[in-house]
Structure 1
């Protein structure tokens, strides 16, 4: 209640689960003092809301924008929060150059895989041992549980059923190579409410396990 001191949620539930949320750069830098105070008191984990997404951290082929992500990790360490990275491979908020050449034509499978590998190895490698877990692949499923027709699928999967999970498999393998001790996640929404979509996520997991990922 307003005006009353309350126990920190991270302490109340310390034997049950972690408490946290997605933090943006304004919270991390203290520009939203109210939200920062709540996070510092109640959270023992935090996810980077935007600053680890490809568009912001790697806007051009030869340029990485590390400062906002560095600030997020430092904030988590200062406040003893488990840091979670979001996200490495997504169809949205990814620069066009990742998927296209300078003429605007789609890249080859090999060229796109090279972009993916460089990005994952560089970003995950920079925060090795500091970011506990990564949303490796984000929202790759349609509502009916099939794989989204993204450039990742079209180019790397090449439309072949036996290659449809290739981009997901490569992403997880490279993330593990970059930090063998990090927890690696597939992230999506509505998995708890849509059986079809949940079944699609289960199919991804089964494929990865069948490939010893």
Structure 2
């Protein structure tokens, strides 16, 4: 398998496949809207910056964890990377186990990355009065983003996307830190793949990783 589309096809007809397809469609919508927002307001991370990944552990929903786990198991098929996720259990402050300093996108699962990673520094948020505003990322020392923008018109807002994401989740939007959530989903997906008779997630015949 080479893509999220392949994952959705492989799990077609199952709850997991339907959930991954719906999440992928939401991500596509978000990418279109946030890309347009950033272009319009000249918002961009500094070239090569991955500082947010170094100092942050994403908290994600079950739906997000399922897609990341499927991408690791059946697209990346990288045993060392899977083991790294398991080893980071209990780490709540970062770095993210999927962080790659030597990649342009700094992410081992960029196509399947969680919502917070897609929105950080790429859309507005709401203040206490519900007004939309954008603040420069505190790591953006190069000042490639505006310092502060306030909006009266409708713009992409982080909270709205978060509500949309949690409405998809079979765990009623309950979040947890990435290592534990992804490890749990890897176990479930491997079991389901064996039932569907296509589990090729263990190319070197070593024991499959199990969540602790």
Question: TM-score, normalized by length of structure 2?
Answer: 0.22
Tell which structure's C-alpha radius of gyration is larger.
Answer: 1
Question: TM-score, normalized by length of structure 1?
Answer: 0.22
Q: Which has the higher contact order (CA 8 A, sep 6+)?
A: 2
